[in-house]
Structure 1
């Protein structure tokens, strides 16, 4: 089984090239999705982890995904690259 890359901001699986964000040279990145990252910048640079949790929860519930899947996704967010070192900042 292949390891599926996930957006290191929101946790979305990056299973297609269309799902991937872009660097400023136009190349696709395997680290972030197109909803979070474009032209080497986060689309919402001021967003914090709690806001991302609310956003992810809303989108997953809108798709009527089971609550255990939503909770699993929320639990993964703090260890993703974008949030990993920011959770301890005061």
Structure 2
């Protein structure tokens, strides 16, 4: 079984190079997607977990994902590196 890598901010699968964000040196990030992370920084640094939950829900609804899948995606957010309590 293949281990999928997910954005550690929004949970999006990082299954292609084109979806990956970039580090300061221009290399692709193996941790964050292009919607969350660019040039080594978060695009929305002041975003909190609740904002991300709303964002994920809205984006998935636009893509007409089933409510179960949306809830599952929202439920994993607190376990991602960006949102873990330090």
State the TM-score bracket (shorter-chain normalisation). over 0.9
- The list of structure 1 runs, each at least 4 consecutive aligned residues, that deviate by more than 2 angstroms after superposition, is none
Q: Indicate the residue corresponding to 2:28 in structure 1.
A: 28
Task: Provide the aligned length of Structure 1 versus Structure 2.
Answer: 86
Q: Alpha-carbon deviation of 1:23?
A: 0.3
Give the root-mean-square deviation of aligned CA atoms.
0.8
CA distance in 2, matches of 1:59, 1:3: 24
CA distance in 2, matches of 1:40, 1:27: 9
- Counterpart mapping for 1:42-81 below 5 A: 42-81=42-81
| Structure 2 unpaired stretches of 5+ | none
Q: Indicate the residue corresponding to 2:7 in structure 1.
A: 7
Q: TM-score, normalised by structure 1?
A: 0.93
